[in-house]
Every structure is written in structure tokens, then in C-alpha cells.
Amino acid sequence: MTLFGSLGDGYVRRALLEVVLLGVLCGAVGVQVVLRRLAFLTTALTHATFPGVVLASLLGIGLVLGAGLFGVLVVAVVAMLTGTRGAGRGRETSSVTAVVLAGGFALGLALMSTRDGFSRDLTAFLVGSVLTVSPSDIVATAVTTVCVLGLLAGLRKELLLGAFDPGALAAAGYPVRALDLVLLLMIEATVVTSLPAVGTIMAVALIVGPAATARLWCSGAGTMTAVAMVIGVLSGVVGLAVSEQWNVAAGGAIVLTVAAFFTVSLVARSLPRGESAMRPAAQEKSVGRPTYS
Amino acid sequence: MPPPVHDAAIVFTHASVAYDRFPAVEQVNGTVRPGEIVALVGPNGAGKSSLIKAVLGLVPVVAGSIVVLGRPPAQARRQVAYVPQADTLDPNFPISVAQVVLMGRYRRIGWLRPPGRADRAAAAAALAAVGLEHRARDRFGLLSGGQRQRVLLARAIASEPAVLVLDEPFNGVDVVSQEALLGAVRELTARGAAVIISTHDLTLAQSACDRVCLLNRRQFAFGPPADVLTPPLLRQAYGGAALELADHGLILAR
């Protein structure tokens, strides 16, 4: 059945609303993630949040609430170990992040195994199920979207400076740790909000994918944010349509759409022409900043 | 309200600076006056960057003191502008030259508020001061290394600082950009700003700076270039890296 045809069903309308909200939220937050090269850290956040989902389910409280509370804990640990750009002193950030990622995931699995006849399907946590999102999930997504967009807009000067030149941010006397923490909380809020729809494993694709695609086309952070949000929404809607049309898993279809946008853009942008011909020279001088920090 | 006038912009008093818990440079003594350019000179690892970070209040002063504009460094930051090395920044970052310069206004604009017309005018004037007003709309990363350095100086100028700190601004910079950088820095000092420049280039320290601070883990001399950049003092500070020439003093291996 086509997406348009199935709009009569309440659950499809809810799914559509959820993916549109998530597309906006993830697209906007993803720009900060991509500009600061925090994709790997975000992956770790998604996996480290997984035990929170399991705990919430075991305790019978809301998944988003449980994941959210646990997420704040995870953010505190990550911020203490690394900061969003790594503290050094023998703690190489990507290694710490990798351990947090695997450790969090393992804790989630261990918690699941403590209970026999665990009723929830593991795949629901791992890949989400957008067609079963509840009205309360949508409300949570809407509230998070409004709050995060408000923060991104209010702090856009400081976030831009922090992403471009963190040294100058500190030298100008800004509260760098506090700003990093706010950003980390925004990313975690986005991760938690997108879990019911796309799950632990694929949330990062929805955050990083549209922004990374926009990054290929845009020469300013403002346009990049707008384009990332549009791609995020389009990916959600197209993925949902594909899912309804050919009866494939919605989460998978959405992430595949994200991947398709990115791949097509990558190929299109690496075709030699105009400005891109000058690019290799600029890239050669690229500094040794870590890809994941 | 005009900014308070200080006799000394920066005062180092037996200052020792630690970086990552290890002492980086010790026993720095001297005064940087308004309107003056002071060069920090010394071999790699001498502690130039650490001393700069201490002036910015980013690393602790573990003994003695550093006073910036009459206050501890961390409390003077709003009147201090820092120019990092351009090649420490990502050349692929999606940002225009004008946006980079406008960043110099952020502290004055304050939280939450967008830049106003006066801020854009100040940024445009700062970009003109380094001779790059025609590149305002270009992407920052498309400029040459020297031009990017000039843009970062323009960002500092836009913040109307009382103290300007430049970290190795002449590394890999062509002559045109070097002249533009120096010209813009002199315009600032003419308006009473105090300037600290760390550099490897002794010729430049000699010709462009009012005084020189010679460092290698500690201070060897602080004074007019003619008194500091002498073969005996340089030999002391650079140790084995100094190679003697028959008639022209010595050259320095990095």
C-alpha cells in the first residue's frame, strides 16, 4: 500500500509526524556533530544509552524517560572522561569512546539476560519501530525538538566559534566546559528521542547522515543546517513511503534513504568541476585534527 | 566610558608557568607597555606557547605573577585578543571570511543577540585594515595561508583589544602577507594596544619589535633587540642549536 493510501490509519499518521519531527531535530543537531567530528562519540552515546532502555523496560517505566535519565548519567561519565574534544593526558579520546560504546552495549545485553522470558523483542531496542510510536513518544519528540532548536538558535554564535576555533572560544573567556556539556546533552536528548523510532544502532545514521550530506553541498553553517533538516525530513518521509509500498522495515528503509542521499551526493561532488578541482590543494594542508574527537 | 589607562599592559614578576603539570618556563620578568610590540623568541619547546597561554589565562602561573591590564589574566580576557596560527584551523570548515572576522565581535555582542550593523561595520573595517576587504564573501579555507593569518588578525582587531597576542603569525607566510600583518599590528599599537608576538624569525624580531624576550625554559634576557639578540645571549639560550659564523655572529638551527 502506498504511504498516501495508508494515511487513513492512525499509526501511519503518527509515524509520519514522528519522522518529520525527527528529521528536523536530527538534521539540526547533526550539523554540530559533523562540524566538530563527533560522529564516533555520538555512536558511543547511542550504544551507552541502550542499558537505560532495557532498565526502563525492566522497571516498567517509560522507555524515553528511562533512556533519558540514563543518558544524563552517560553524558556525565563521557564528559568527565573526555570532554567533547578530549582532554588528553594519556587518555586517547577515541579509545575511551570505543570502550564506552562496547561497555554500554554489553551492559544492556547483560541486563536483558537477567530476566527469563523477557517480553520485549531485542530488535525493537536495536532498530526501533516507527510504526508503533505512541502519542507520548511524539510529544517527547516535539518538546525535545522545540527545546533543542531554541538552544541551537540562541547559542549559534558561541557554538559556531567553538566548532571552528575552540582555542579562541577559551581565550575569549567563554565557559567552554559548560558549553561542551550543553552540546553533549543536546546530542544525548536527540539520541534518546530517536530511539523508539529508529533504535540504538540506527539513530546515529539519522543524526550524522543528513548533516554529512549537507556538508558536501554547503559553504556556510547556516545553509548547512537548513539543508540537513530538509534532507532529514525527506529521508524520513521517503523511507516511510518505501516501507509502506514494499512492506520493508521502516527503520531500515529510512536509514537506507539517508545513506542513498549521502552516497549520491558524495559521487556527485567528487566529479571534477570548478571549485572541486581546487580542493585537493586545500586538503593536502589539512591539519592533523582527529577524525573522531 | 573610555578604557582605563595603564602604564603597563602586562607585568611579569618572577613568573613560572606550568603546562600539563610540568614547568614550561620559569623566572620571567618584565613589562609590556601600551603601544609596544614585544617579541617572544626562543627555540622550539622553549615555553613560548605556554607563556602565551598563561597571558590568556589558559594555563596556571605556578610561581610569581602575571598581571594583565591590572588584573589576573583570566579576568582580563575580554580586552585581550588572541591570534592562533592559521594552519591549526580546519581549512574545510564551511565559513566565510566575513563570518570569521565577525567572531571578533561576539564577546561585545553578548549572549543570545545577533550581530548588529555596528558589528558588521567594525568587522568590515578590520578586514580592510589587513587589506582583504575584497575577499569577505569567500570561504575561509580557499585563502592562502598568509591570507588566512591576516583574516585571523582582522578578527582580533574587530574586538578592539587593549592587548594583542599572536602565536607564530609569520610561519609559512609570504612577504606580502607579512607586510600586511605588520602594518595592521602597527596601526593597533599606534592606538595604544600592547602586542606580544612569538616568533622564530630573529630578523623580524630585530626589525619590527620594540623589545625582545629571549626564552628557553627560563628567561635569558628581556630588553631592546640590540641588547638581547647578541651572539653570547643567543648562544646561551639556543645552546647546541646555535652555529657560529666567522664574521656575522651566528645562525640558528631550529
**Predicted pLDDT of residue B188:** 94
Kindly tell me if the per-residue pLDDT of A83 is higher than 60: no
Top-confidence residue, A275 or B43: B43
Count of all residues that appear for chain B in the document? 254
Cα–chain center distance at A35: 13
Kindly tell me if the per-residue pLDDT of A282 is higher than 60: no
**Residue B93 near chain A (CB below 8 Å):** yes
Contact B111 A171 (CB under 8 A): no
Who among A161, A283, A287 is closest to B106 (CB)?
Answer: A161
Who among B58, B95, B114 is closest to A170 (CB)?
Answer: B58
**Predicted pLDDT of residue A121:** 61
Q: Identify the residue among A156, A285, A286 best suited for mutation to test binding to B, counting B beta carbons within 10 A and taking the highest.
A: A285
Strand arrangement of the beta sheet that strand B22-32 belongs to: B22-32, B10-19, B61-68
DSSP B133: G
Q: Min CA distance, B169 vs chain A (Å)?
A: 15
Tell me the CA end-to-end span of chain A in Å, nearest whole number.
44
β-pairing, B211-215 vs B219-223, is: antiparallel
- Residues of chain A with pLDDT > 70, as a percent, come to 86
Q: What is the mean pLDDT of residues A41-70?
A: 83
Closest chain A residue to the Cα of B103, Cα to Cα: A161
**Residue B88 near chain A (CB below 8 Å):** yes
The DSSP result for A59-106, as a single string, is HTS-HHHHHHHHHHHHHHHHHHHT-TT--BTTB-HHHHHHHHHHHHHH
Q: Could you say which residues of chain B have pLDDT below 70?
A: 1-6, 240-254
**Predicted pLDDT of residue A267:** 94
**Residue B242 near chain A (CB below 8 Å):** no
**Predicted pLDDT of residue A276:** 45
**What cell was used for A272?**
571534477
pLDDT tens sequence across A217-228: 999 999 999 999
**Predicted pLDDT of residue B152:** 96
Q: What is the mean pLDDT of residues A90-115?
A: 80
pLDDT band of A90, cuts 50, 70, 90 = low
Contact A163 B93 (CB under 8 A): yes
Residues B225, B211: contact at Cβ < 8 Å? yes
pLDDT band of A280, cuts 50, 70, 90 = very low
Q: What is the mean pLDDT of residues A30-36?
A: 96
**Predicted pLDDT of residue A84:** 47
Q: What is the mean pLDDT of residues A233-240?
A: 95
**What cell was used for A237?**
518521509
**Predicted pLDDT of residue B254:** 47
Report the DSSP beta bridge partners of residue B13.
B65
Task: Collect all residues of chain B within an 8 Å Cβ-Cβ radius of residue A88.
Answer: 20
- Residues of chain A with pLDDT > 90, as a percent, come to 45
Cα atoms found within 13 Å of the Cα of residue A163, Cβ hemisphere only: 24
Q: What is the mean pLDDT of residues A237-266?
A: 93
**Residue B171 near chain A (CB below 8 Å):** no
At CB < 8 Å, which residues of chain A contact B?
35, 88-89, 154-155, 157-158, 160-161, 163-165, 167-168, 170-173, 215, 218-221, 224, 278, 282-283, 285-287, 289
Element holding B10 (H helix, E strand)? strand B10-19
CA distance A255 to A203: 9
**Predicted pLDDT of residue A220:** 92
Residues B130, B154: contact at Cβ < 8 Å? yes
Domains observed in chain A: 5-114+121-269 (1.10.3470.10)
CA distance A162 to A37: 12
Q: Specify the 3-state DSSP secondary structure of A37.
A: coil
Kindly tell me if the per-residue pLDDT of A89 is higher than 60: no
Report the DSSP beta bridge partners of residue B115.
none
Cα–Cα distance list, A206 to A42, A105, A241, B106, B235 (Å): 11, 19, 17, 31, 60
Most distant CA pair in chain A, distance:
62
**Predicted pLDDT of residue A285:** 38
Phi and psi at A82, nearest 5°, equal -130, -30
Domains observed in chain B: 10-252 (3.40.50.300)
Q: What is the mean pLDDT of residues A141-158?
A: 96
Portion 119-138 of B in contact with A at CB < 8 A: none
**What cell was used for B244?**
657560529
**Predicted pLDDT of residue A118:** 56
Taking residue B111's Cβ as centre, other Cβ atoms within 10 Å add up to: 11
Closest chain B residue to the Cα of A150, Cα to Cα: B112
Q: What is the mean pLDDT of residues A31-43?
A: 92
Task: Collect all residues of chain A within an 8 Å Cβ-Cβ radius of residue B159.
Answer: 172
Contact B145 A285 (CB under 8 A): yes
**Predicted pLDDT of residue B121:** 96
Cα atoms found within 13 Å of the Cα of residue A276, Cβ hemisphere only: 11
Contact B95 A224 (CB under 8 A): no
Contact A171 B139 (CB under 8 A): no
**Predicted pLDDT of residue A291:** 31
The residue behind cell 630573529 is B202
Contact B89 A164 (CB under 8 A): yes
**Predicted pLDDT of residue A199:** 86
Task: Collect all residues of chain B within an 8 Å Cβ-Cβ radius of residue A289.
Answer: 90
CA distance B87 to B140: 12
Contact A171 B88 (CB under 8 A): no
At A9, which amino acid appears? Answer: D
pLDDT tens sequence across A186-222: 999 999 899 888 888 888 999 999 999 999 999 999 9
Kindly tell me if the per-residue pLDDT of A289 is higher than 50: no
CA distance B85 to B150: 10
